Structure 1
Amino acid sequence: MYKSAGIIPTLYGARVSLRPLSAAHAAVLYEIWTHPAVGLWLDAPPLASAAEAEQLIELLLQMSREEESLRWSIVLPGGEIIGSCGFNQWQLAGAYRGELGCELSPSCWGQGYMREALALLLEFGFVTMGLNRIEALCHPDNLRAAGLFRALGFSEEGIMRQYRHTASGFQDTALFALLRSDRI
C-alpha cells in the first residue's frame, strides 16, 4: 500500500515537471486560481488574497502528510509555475481509486502542457501508488477539460445530477474514469 509520509516526489516530463507545492508558489498560484476563466470551473470558494492561497497550500501539504491528498505545481524548465494538478483524494484499501484535479494558466492553454502533466500524474497513480481507477470530475459545460480527459483515454461514465453545491446552487458534474487495464 502506498505511503507518502508527506513526501511528495518531483516528477519530470519532457517540457514540464511536477514539483511539490510550496508556500513560495502562493502568489503565482493565486493569480491562476483566481483568473476568471479558471475560477469559473473550480469547485471551491474564491480566494481573496495570495495569503489565502498560501493558507490553502499549507492545508494541502497537511493533507498530503495525512495521506488524504497529493498536489503538485506544474513548472516549465525555466522555473515558471503555470498551474497545479494532483489527487484531490485517493483510497487504496478496497477501492484502489483516486480523483484528480487540475488547473492551468489560460496563457498556456492549448499547448499540451496539461496533457503532459496529467500523463505524469497518471503514471505515478497507476505505477507508484498502485491505483486501479482514476477519476476526473468536471462541469458538463467545461468542454476543454472533457476533451483533455477523453484524449488521455478516460471514458465518460455519466452525469452525476446535482453533485456539487456552489454559490449559485446545486450543479451537475460529469464523471470520467480511466482504469489501469484501459492503458494496456
Structure 2
Amino acid sequence: MKMYECKGSIPVLEGRRIRLRKMEVREARRVFTFWSDSEVTRYMNMESMFSPEDAEDMIELLNRLSLSEDAIRWGIELKENGELIGSCGFNHWQLSGAFKGEIGYELSRSHWRKGYMSEALDLLHAFGFETMKLNRLEAMVDPRNEPSQRLLESFGWSREGLLRQVQYTSTGYKDMLLYSLLYEEWNKKENGTYANHQ
C-alpha cells in the first residue's frame, strides 16, 4: 500500500458551506481574533495570543510542520464570503505500524452552534480515512469541554478513558479524555457496509 505523503501540500477540502484550505500569514489579524479569545482557547493546549504577530508566527510554524510531515492544519473558510472562522487538522500521525492520527480543532465564538465544526469533522474523517488511509483517529479532549465531547460522540467516536496529567501547560499538568474512531466504524456508518480499507 502506498504511504500518504504530505510534503507541504495542504489540499483544499470542499464542504457544503465551508472549505478547508491553507492559512496565509497575511490573514494573521483575522486568525488573531479567535486565537486571542480566552473562551476559544480555554480548553486548548495553547495560551491566548497577545498580538497579531503571535498569529503570524503560529501560521508560519503550522505551514512548516506540513513540510516536515509532522502536522497538517487547515483554516476553516466560509464559502459565502471567504471569512476564516477557525482551524482544524491533524496534530500528528503515524503510518507504519499504527496508521493512526490525532485531530484538533477550534472555532471562533461567533460561529459556535451553527454546524460548521460538524462539516469540518466530516471532511477530516474522509481525508484521514480515505486519503491518508488511517485506521484510527484520536482526539484529546479536556474533561470540562462538554460541547467537544458531544460533537465527537454524535459522530460515533468512543470515549476510551481518562489520561491523567498527560499534558503540561502554563497552569500545570492536565488530565485529558481520549476519544477514538476506527475506520471500520466510520465506513459502516457512511456506507452501511465494510470495505477493504488497506
**TM superposition score normalised by structure 1:** 0.97
Q: Residue type of the partner of 2:176?
A: T
Q: Report how far residue 8 of structure 1 moved.
A: 0.8
What is the distance in 1 between the residues matched to 2:104 and 2:113? 18
* Conserved? CA contact 2:164–2:175, under 8 Å: yes
Amino acid at match of 1:23: V
The equivalences for 1:142-157 within 5 A come to: 142-157=145-160
How far residue 31 of structure 1 moved from its aligned partner, in angstroms, is 1.1
Q: Secondary structure at the match of 1:3?
A: coil
- 2:46 alignment counterpart: 44
The structure with more radius of gyration? 2
Answering whether residue 37 of structure 2 is matched by residue 35 of structure 1, we say yes
1:113 equivalent to 2:106? Answer no
Cα distance in 2 for residues equivalent to 1:111 and 1:105: 11
Tell me, yes or no, if structure 1 residue 85 matches structure 2 residue 125.
Answer: no
Aligned twin of 2:193: none
Offset at residue 65 of structure 1 (A) = 0.4
1:132 to 130, 135, 138: 135
1:101 pairs, out of 99, 104, 113, with: 104
- Separation in 2, partners of 1:133, 1:9: 21
Structure 2: stretches of 5+ with no match in the other structure: 189-198
How many pairs align?
A: 184
Larger mean CA deviation between 160-169 and 8-17 belongs to 160-169
CA offset at residue 20 of structure 1? 1.0
The whole-number CA distance in structure 1 between the counterparts of 2:144 and 2:110 is: 20
- Residue type at the aligned position of 1:177: S
* Residue in 2 that maps onto 1:23: 25
Task: Please list every run of 5 or more consecutive structure 1 residues that lacks an aligned counterpart in the other structure.
Answer: none
1:50-61 pair list within 5 angstroms: 50-61=52-63
Partner of 2:192: none
CA distance in 1 between partners of 2:25 and 2:124 (Å): 21
Q: C-alpha displacement at 1:153, in angstroms?
A: 1.4
Query: 1:163 maps to which residue?
Result: 166
Aligned residue identity for 1:126: F
Greater CA drift, 36-45 or 63-72: 36-45
Question: Deviation of residue 48 (structure 1)?
Answer: 2.1
**d(CA) in 1 for partners of 2:119 and 2:156?**
13
Of residues 60, 64, 70 in structure 2, which corresponds to 1:62?
64
The AA in structure 1 aligned to 2:51 is: S
Q: Could you tell me how far 1:118 is from its partner in structure 2?
A: 1.1
Normalised to the residue count of structure 2, the TM-score between the two structures is 0.90
Aligned-residue offset at 1:163: 0.8
- The one-letter amino acid paired with 2:138 is E
